[in-house]
Structure 1
Amino acid sequence: MSEDLGVQVRSELFKRKMKQKDLADLVGISNAYLSDIIRGRKDGPKAQEHIKHIQKILDI
Structure 2
Amino acid sequence: MSNDLGALVRSELFKRKMKQKELAEMLGISSVYLSDIINGRKDGPKAQEHIKHIRKILNV
**TM-score (ref. length: structure 1):** 0.99
Please name the residue that 1:5 is paired with.
5
| Deviation for aligned residue 1:58 | 0.2
**Structure 2 spans left out of the alignment, 5+ residues:** none
Please name the residue that 1:58 is paired with.
58
3-state DSSP of counterpart to 1:41: coil
Instruction: Provide the aligned C-alpha RMSD in A.
Output: 0.3
% same residue:
78
| Deviation for aligned residue 1:24 | 0.2
| Deviation for aligned residue 1:49 | 0.1
1: CA distance, partners of 2:27 / 2:54: 7
In the alignment of these two chains, the number of paired residues is: 60
Question: 1:3 corresponds to which letter in structure 2?
Answer: N
Please name the residue that 1:18 is paired with.
18
Question: 1:46 corresponds to which letter in structure 2?
Answer: K
3-state DSSP of counterpart to 1:17: coil
